Amino acid sequence: MQTNFTKNSLLLLLTLVFCSAGTINAQETKVEKDGKNLVKWNIAALALKNYSFQYERAIGKKISAAVGVRFAPKSNVPFKSNVEKLIDDEETWNSIKDFKMGNFAITPEIRFYTGKGVFRGFYVAPFARYAKYNAEVPFNFEVEVTNGTNTVTREEQINLSGDVTTLTGGLLFGAQWKLSKLVYLDWWILGASYGTSKGNISGKSASGFDADEQDALREALKDLEDLPLIKVKSEVNAEGAKVDFDGPWANVRAGLSIGFRF
């Protein structure tokens, strides 16, 4: 009696193993047939003058690995006319209206899907991001010149330019849908990252700065040292100025991408 029970149990176990193996093979075959790869274009990034693309590859039943590349040519502040309406201080607007920035970023991530399989449904994705921002900043400052009993104030400008490099890590929440056999829609609902940044901006005067101009520029740049959390160090001489930045960096990530599976 015990022998029959043992044989029956063994047969049942083997049946379950073969059935499970068959299911796994069927799922893997389906992934292979539909394609393990997705290439995507983040169309929402165009609103901010960014070009953003991502490659994603299935590495498990509900797991994928992806790498994104984003770049933007140097340009003025996005939605410049709308930003101007929001700023009611003319001096503040004049200081940023000619500001230009470009950037490059690379973002590797691992995605864990909660839907029926890879590439579909809600997902959580830990990620890292390396980014480099390059900027041009026309910096205005006032110089007081005393001539006898008269004091005259004149405005001068120095064009500062440079790079800031950041390295951050974070978590992205999103959802992806299959629109057709080959086309997918990927919604980056919200992602946030935190890390470090380091960089500098500098500029030179074509005609050089005299002692009064150097003192005025030095005092104006000291206002940047009041920026929260960021360590700022500035240097001024007769040729121009240099400002070093070092401190934490936070980032928010969102987007809407159209993908093609192969």
Q: Three-state SS string across 118-163, please?
A: CCCEEEEEEEEEEEEEEEEEEEEEEEEEEECCEEEEEEEEEEEEEE
CA distance 96 to 84: 10
Q: For 124-168, write each residue's pLDDT tens digit.
A: 999 999 999 999 988 888 898 777 778 788 888 899 999 999 999
* pLDDT tens by residue, the chain, 262 residues: 444 444 454 455 445 444 444 444 444 555 567 799 999 999 999 988 899 999 999 999 999 999 999 999 988 877 666 666 666 666 666 666 778 899 999 999 999 999 889 999 999 999 999 999 999 988 888 898 777 778 788 888 899 999 999 999 999 999 999 999 999 999 999 999 999 999 999 999 888 899 989 999 999 998 887 777 889 999 999 999 999 999 999 999 999 999 999 9
Could you give the count of Cα atoms lying within 13 Å of 108 in the half-sphere of its Cβ? 2
pLDDT in tens, 201-222: 999 988 889 998 999 999 999 8
pTM of the full structure? 0.79
